[in-house]
C-alpha cells in the first residue's frame, strides 16, 4: 500500500447507472473521471484550483496516468476516492485510492503527474511556479 501524501482529501461517489457497461461494472475509462473529482477537491483544499492556476498564467496538463484495477465497481455502489499530494516542487504528483465506502475494500489505485506550462509562451517549466508552491506551503503550516 502506498503511504499517504503530505496533504490528502477524500470524496464519496455513488456509481451512476450511465457509468456501467454491458457487464454491469464501471467501464474502465470512468475511473479517470473519479480521479479528476478527487483531484479538484484536493486543489480546492489548497485554495489553488484550475481557475486560479489559469489566472496565475499556468496550465497543468497531465503527462502521466497510472491505474491498477483490483475489483470492478458496480451500479449504486458508494466509493471513497482519496487523493494524496506526494510531489509539488517540480511537478504535481497525486496518488489515488478508490475503495468501497462501506467495507473499505481497495478497488483501484492510481497516480497522475502534471507539469506547469506557461500559458503565454506554451513553455513547460522545470519547477512548479512559486504561486503554487506557496499555496501548498500555506496548507502545510
Q: How many domains does the chain have?
A: 1
In a domain, 1, yes or no: no
What's the CATH code of the domain at 36? 3.10.129.10
In a domain, 124, yes or no: yes
Residues 31-55: pLDDT tens digits?
A: 999 999 999 999 999 999 999 999 9
In a domain, 2, yes or no: no
Both ends of the chain: CA-CA distance in Å? 27
Residue 58, domain extent: 7-140
Whole-model pTM?
0.94
**Which residues are registered as beta bridge partners of 94?**
85, 112
In a domain, 128, yes or no: yes
- Rounded CA separation 46/39 (Å): 11
φ/ψ of residue 48, rounded to 5:
-150, 70
Q: Which residues of the chain have pLDDT under 70?
A: 1-3
Amino acid at each position: 500500500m502506498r503511504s499517504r501524501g503530505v496533504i490528502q482529501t477524500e470524496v464519496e461517489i455513488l456509481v451512476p447507472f450511465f457509468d456501467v457497461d454491458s457487464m454491469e461494472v464501471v467501464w474502465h475509462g470512468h475511473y479517470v473521471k473519479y480521479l479528476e473529482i478527487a483531484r479538484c477537491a484536493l486543489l480546492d483544499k489548497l485554495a489553488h484550483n484550475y481557475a486560479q492556476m489559469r489566472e496565475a498564467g499556468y496550465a497543468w496538463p497531465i503527462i502521466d496516468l497510472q491505474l491498477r484495477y483490483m475489483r470492478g465497481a458496480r451500479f449504486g455502489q458508494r466509493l471513497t476516492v482519496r487523493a494524496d499530494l506526494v510531489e509539488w516542487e517540480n511537478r504535481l504528483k497525486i496518488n489515488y485510492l478508490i475503495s468501497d465506502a462501506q467495507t473499505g475494500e481497495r478497488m483501484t489505485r492510481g497516480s497522475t503527474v502534471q507539469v506547469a506550462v506557461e500559458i503565454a509562451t506554451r513553455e513547460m517549466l522545470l519547477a512548479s511556479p512559486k504561486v503554487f508552491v506557496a499555496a501548498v506551503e500555506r496548507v502545510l503550516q
